[in-house]
Chains A and B, each alone.
Chain A
């Protein structure tokens, strides 16, 4: 972006955004070197909510660690649990019954919709529109109700077990999910009418913060940040896991590279997730939700294992280094927003500060997930 005024590096001041700031979605701090309203340089300071997940991974046994994953990213909690149980199942050789796989996908996609709805509300609020948040959270509450009936919690689900699930879904859940689909489709029309078509909204996002595909590659960006820059990358398609190959869905890709493209990708993703949910409900097989044969104590054989999954925020990877013991030798959590946020420092140079905050919103940040 070319700035209309000449930047003079000797006339700058430091602006400290955060760690307590309404636009940073939590405890994130950005030290910005400003020239008037323009950002000359920025340095993101993270670590204000570093909760030692990786250290806990080494000191807790495998089943004890299940709850940590949902506290890592509380908006898309089951997606993160999915990555963790998949890597342990792969390492320990535990078979998962088909019904459990379908219910997992169902839950992950419902959670993805809930997460994107929350992002939608918060993002528009960053740009100054308050009421979409009210609508979005109302729809989100319906998803939370459904999931709460099955999992027992509203936000930090500890629902997946190694080899299966904690609880089977019942007819009430299926009925509620079927009723939710047309409701959400209708709501999407409302959101597009309310927000997407708004001229002010579009003008604030069009052409803002262009991220080239090359930049995405150098930083390892994923999710809507990559897909808004024309990169057709979704782990569900690129490296299919679980029962995702069974479903028919599209990966929305936009080539504009700007904040509006990232917004459009996520809005389209909600619709695609609804498609997956519908198919999962149609195809849901009968059967058990836990495997018949499962080791009593989970002790994966020594080795190095890796599994990536597509969560609501992008490609989440778990590296498990096992020494054959009851606890992992090393558990590395690769969080997608960590890489996406890293882009910010370089991308926001020369930008107006208001645009930079809009750009930050379009990255879909969950700070505890960056800091782990």
Chain B
């Protein structure tokens, strides 16, 4: 099963986490009240989550440090995942930006993997993955347009969807038109 293979490979990135005791996310219905307060208090720690596919729509959710990103993406590349999308989320209350990478598979062994990394909101720099997935090029440019996240080493980081001279990042929560 590709799920176990991927899980094992990604676990290697988190030596502190115990493989025998996989973290399974609590059902989301219980954490409605909790999550709001929790999220403002402390952001999620790096680590691997196994998610309920029927609730969240993906199987594995790995939050890595920006330095570990290339290792994590190399793992999914070696396991022949295709890149679905890259996007950002602005967690303004925690003063952080999140970059979310989605990967999925072409075969019938369904396994969706989400890799995310949190960046400092004032200096968001993350290594580019265009060297591994050529198709990440546009996705990264788009994320740079919308959130101002700098992809270190990107070959052509100019505005894609916004006008050529755009210097604003519209999807930041403190953006005013």
* Chains A and B in contact, CB within 8 Å: yes
Query: A-side interface residues toward B, CB under 8 Å?
Result: 46-47, 50, 52, 54-55, 58, 87, 90, 93, 213, 216-221, 226, 231-233, 237-239, 301-308, 315, 317, 319, 321, 323-324, 329-330, 332, 334, 338-339, 342-343, 346, 371-372
A306:B36 contact, CB within 8 angstroms: no
One of B8-16, B64-72, B98-106 at the interface = B98-106
Question: Are A47 and B84 also in contact (CB < 8 A) when A301-B28, A324-B32, A346-B134 are?
Answer: no
Q: Which of A50, A306, A317, A330 has the most CB of B within 10 A?
A: A306
Residues of chain A with a CB closer than 8 A to B106's CB: 213, 216-217, 226, 231-233, 238
**Which residue of the partner chain, among B36, B61, B83, B89, contacts A324 with CB atoms under 8 Å?**
B36
Q: Is the CB–CB distance between A319 and B102 below 8 Å?
A: yes
Please give the residue numbers on chain B whose beta carbons come within 8 Å of chain A beta carbons, in ascending order: 28-29, 31-32, 35-36, 39, 54-58, 61, 80-85, 87, 89-90, 100, 102, 104-108, 110, 112, 114, 133-135, 137-138, 146, 159-163, 170-171
Residue pair A303, B87 in contact (C-beta under 8 Å): no
Q: Cα distance A96–B29 when bound, in Å?
A: 19
Q: Which residue of B lies closest to A325 (CB)?
A: B36
Q: How far is the CA of A330 from the CA of B36 in the complex (A)?
A: 15
Task: Verify A330–B135 contact, CB threshold 8 A.
Answer: no
Q: Which residue of B lies closest to A323 (CB)?
A: B36
Q: Which residues of B contact A90 (CB under 8 A)?
A: 54-55, 57
* CB pair B31 A338 closer than 8 Å: no
* Cα of A324 to Cα of B30 in the assembled complex, Å: 12
Of the residues B85, B104, B134, B161, contact of A332 by C-beta under 8 Å: B85
- In the complex, what's the smallest C-beta–C-beta distance from A299 to chain B, in angstroms? 9
Q: Is the CB–CB distance between A218 and B135 below 8 Å? A: yes
Nearest CB of chain B from residue A218's CB, rounded to whole Å: 5
Q: Are B28 and A317 within 8 A (Cβ)?
A: no
> What are the 10 A-B residue pairs with the smallest beta carbon separation, nearest first?
A219-B135, A306-B57, A47-B161, A334-B85, A302-B35, A50-B161, A301-B32, A332-B87, A217-B82, A233-B106
CB neighbours (8 Å) of B61 from chain A are 304
B108 touches A238 (CB 8 A): yes
Q: Is B82 touching A216 in the complex (CB atoms < 8 A)?
A: yes
Q: Other CB < 8 Å A-B pairs besides A46-B160, A303-B35, 17 of them?
A: A58-B171, A90-B54, A213-B106, A226-B106, A231-B106, A233-B106, A237-B108, A238-B107, A302-B28, A303-B28, A308-B84, A323-B36, A332-B87, A334-B84, A334-B85, A342-B138, A346-B134
A-side contacts of B163, CB under 8 Å: 47
- In the complex, A324 Cα to B29 Cα: how many Å? 11
